[in-house]
Amino acid sequence: FRNVTGVQTCALPILNRSVLVSDDGSFRAAITFGPKKVGAQVELHFELLKPKSITNGRITFVPNDVNVESIEVPIEGSPRYGFGPDQGFVFPASGTWTVTITGTGPNGELPSIGMQFVVRNQDGSEPEPASATTDVATTRLTVPDTTEAANSSTG
Protein backbone atom coordinates (compact mmCIF):
# COMPACT_ATOMS: atom_id res chain seq x y z
CA PHE A 1 0.00 0.00 0.00
CA ARG A 2 2.79 2.43 0.87
CA ASN A 3 4.85 1.35 -2.14
CA VAL A 4 4.47 3.83 -5.02
CA THR A 5 4.02 1.03 -7.55
CA GLY A 6 1.36 -0.63 -5.39
CA VAL A 7 3.26 -3.92 -5.31
CA GLN A 8 3.21 -5.60 -1.91
CA THR A 9 5.55 -8.52 -2.61
CA CYS A 10 9.13 -8.31 -3.82
CA ALA A 11 9.06 -5.20 -5.98
CA LEU A 12 12.78 -5.38 -6.66
CA PRO A 13 13.81 -6.24 -10.21
CA ILE A 14 15.42 -9.66 -10.53
CA LEU A 15 18.47 -7.85 -11.96
CA ASN A 16 19.32 -6.72 -8.42
CA ARG A 17 19.69 -10.36 -7.30
CA SER A 18 23.29 -11.30 -6.53
CA VAL A 19 24.46 -14.85 -5.88
CA LEU A 20 27.45 -14.92 -3.55
CA VAL A 21 29.69 -18.00 -3.28
CA SER A 22 32.56 -18.75 -0.90
CA ASP A 23 35.96 -19.63 -2.42
CA ASP A 24 35.60 -23.28 -1.34
CA GLY A 25 31.97 -23.50 -2.55
CA SER A 26 30.62 -24.51 0.87
CA PHE A 27 28.47 -21.37 1.26
CA ARG A 28 26.14 -20.00 -1.44
CA ALA A 29 23.39 -17.44 -0.97
CA ALA A 30 21.32 -15.08 -3.09
CA ILE A 31 20.62 -11.58 -1.84
CA THR A 32 18.38 -8.88 -3.27
CA PHE A 33 18.12 -5.45 -1.68
CA GLY A 34 17.35 -1.88 -2.57
CA PRO A 35 16.88 0.87 -3.32
CA LYS A 36 20.57 1.63 -2.87
CA LYS A 37 19.97 5.29 -2.12
CA VAL A 38 20.40 7.49 0.97
CA GLY A 39 17.25 7.88 3.04
CA ALA A 40 15.07 5.33 1.19
CA GLN A 41 13.55 2.38 3.08
CA VAL A 42 15.47 -0.72 1.98
CA GLU A 43 13.69 -3.96 1.05
CA LEU A 44 15.79 -7.10 1.63
CA HIS A 45 15.44 -10.72 0.48
CA PHE A 46 17.87 -13.54 1.29
CA GLU A 47 17.90 -17.10 0.03
CA LEU A 48 20.26 -19.74 1.38
CA LEU A 49 21.41 -21.97 -1.50
CA LYS A 50 24.09 -24.03 0.26
CA PRO A 51 24.23 -25.54 2.89
CA LYS A 52 20.62 -26.50 3.59
CA SER A 53 20.55 -24.79 6.98
CA ILE A 54 22.30 -21.96 8.79
CA THR A 55 22.36 -20.76 12.39
CA ASN A 56 23.63 -17.48 13.82
CA GLY A 57 23.28 -15.97 10.35
CA ARG A 58 23.96 -12.30 9.87
CA ILE A 59 23.93 -9.89 6.94
CA THR A 60 26.16 -6.89 7.63
CA PHE A 61 26.30 -3.68 5.59
CA VAL A 62 29.54 -1.75 6.22
CA PRO A 63 30.33 1.69 4.75
CA ASN A 64 33.77 1.84 3.13
CA ASP A 65 34.02 5.60 2.50
CA VAL A 66 32.38 7.27 5.48
CA ASN A 67 32.37 7.05 9.25
CA VAL A 68 28.83 5.86 9.99
CA GLU A 69 27.63 2.79 11.83
CA SER A 70 27.30 -0.59 10.15
CA ILE A 71 23.86 -2.12 9.67
CA GLU A 72 23.34 -5.69 10.89
CA VAL A 73 20.40 -7.91 9.96
CA PRO A 74 20.07 -11.27 11.71
CA ILE A 75 18.96 -14.11 9.42
CA GLU A 76 16.20 -15.97 11.22
CA GLY A 77 14.17 -19.05 10.41
CA SER A 78 14.02 -20.82 7.08
CA PRO A 79 16.48 -20.69 4.17
CA ARG A 80 14.42 -17.78 2.81
CA TYR A 81 14.28 -14.56 4.78
CA GLY A 82 13.29 -11.02 3.98
CA PHE A 83 11.22 -7.97 4.63
CA GLY A 84 9.53 -5.24 2.65
CA PRO A 85 10.36 -1.54 2.66
CA ASP A 86 7.88 -0.87 5.47
CA GLN A 87 10.09 -2.95 7.80
CA GLY A 88 13.40 -1.99 6.23
CA PHE A 89 16.34 0.14 7.21
CA VAL A 90 17.86 3.21 5.52
CA PHE A 91 21.38 3.81 4.29
CA PRO A 92 22.56 6.90 6.21
CA ALA A 93 25.33 7.88 3.76
CA SER A 94 26.25 7.52 0.11
CA GLY A 95 29.43 5.91 -1.16
CA THR A 96 30.86 2.42 -1.48
CA TRP A 97 29.54 -0.15 0.98
CA THR A 98 30.30 -3.84 1.54
CA VAL A 99 27.64 -6.44 2.32
CA THR A 100 28.89 -9.56 4.11
CA ILE A 101 26.94 -12.70 5.03
CA THR A 102 28.16 -14.93 7.86
CA GLY A 103 26.79 -17.90 9.76
CA THR A 104 27.27 -21.42 11.01
CA GLY A 105 26.39 -24.44 8.87
CA PRO A 106 25.79 -28.03 9.91
CA ASN A 107 29.56 -28.69 9.83
CA GLY A 108 30.65 -25.53 11.66
CA GLU A 109 31.53 -21.92 10.87
CA LEU A 110 31.00 -20.94 7.22
CA PRO A 111 33.46 -18.72 5.33
CA SER A 112 32.04 -15.23 4.93
CA ILE A 113 30.71 -14.18 1.53
CA GLY A 114 30.17 -10.64 0.30
CA MET A 115 30.42 -7.94 -2.32
CA GLN A 116 30.77 -4.19 -2.70
CA PHE A 117 28.06 -1.88 -4.00
CA VAL A 118 27.39 1.86 -4.29
CA VAL A 119 24.74 3.78 -2.37
CA ARG A 120 23.60 6.80 -4.36
CA ASN A 121 22.86 10.25 -2.96
CA GLN A 122 19.32 11.04 -1.83
CA ASP A 123 18.55 12.71 -5.18
CA GLY A 124 19.69 9.55 -7.02
CA SER A 125 22.98 11.03 -8.26
CA GLU A 126 26.32 9.20 -7.99
CA PRO A 127 28.31 10.01 -4.83
CA GLU A 128 31.53 11.97 -5.19
CA PRO A 129 34.71 9.93 -4.67
CA ALA A 130 35.97 9.78 -1.10
CA SER A 131 38.64 12.28 -0.15
CA ALA A 132 42.25 11.08 -0.31
CA THR A 133 42.80 12.30 3.25
CA THR A 134 42.13 9.82 6.01
CA ASP A 135 41.19 12.59 8.45
CA VAL A 136 37.75 13.28 6.97
CA ALA A 137 35.28 15.08 9.22
CA THR A 138 33.01 12.58 11.00
CA THR A 139 30.01 14.90 11.18
CA ARG A 140 28.40 12.93 8.35
CA LEU A 141 26.80 10.67 10.94
CA THR A 142 24.69 13.57 12.18
CA VAL A 143 23.90 15.02 8.75
CA PRO A 144 23.65 12.06 6.35
CA ASP A 145 21.40 13.89 3.87
CA THR A 146 24.08 16.53 3.24
CA THR A 147 27.06 14.26 2.63
CA GLU A 148 27.76 15.82 -0.77
CA ALA A 149 27.53 19.36 0.67
CA ALA A 150 29.77 18.41 3.59
CA ASN A 151 32.43 17.07 1.19
CA SER A 152 32.40 20.20 -0.98
CA SER A 153 32.60 22.59 1.99
CA THR A 154 35.72 20.88 3.40
CA GLY A 155 37.64 20.88 0.12
3-class DSSP state of 148:
helix
Q: Could you count the other beta carbons within 10 Å of the beta carbon of residue 146?
A: 16
Helix (H) or strand (E) holding 154, with range, is: helix 147-154
Per-residue model confidence as pLDDT tens digits over 45-66 = 999 999 989 999 999 999 998 8
Q: Which of 104, 87, 5 is nearest to 43 (CA)?
A: 87
- pTM recorded for the entire structure: 0.72
Question: In the structure, what pLDDT confidence band is assigned to residue 133 with cuts at 50, 70 and 90?
Answer: very low
Report the chain's mean pLDDT, rounded to a whole number.
Answer: 78
What tens digit of pLDDT does each residue of 100-120 get? 999 999 999 999 999 999 999
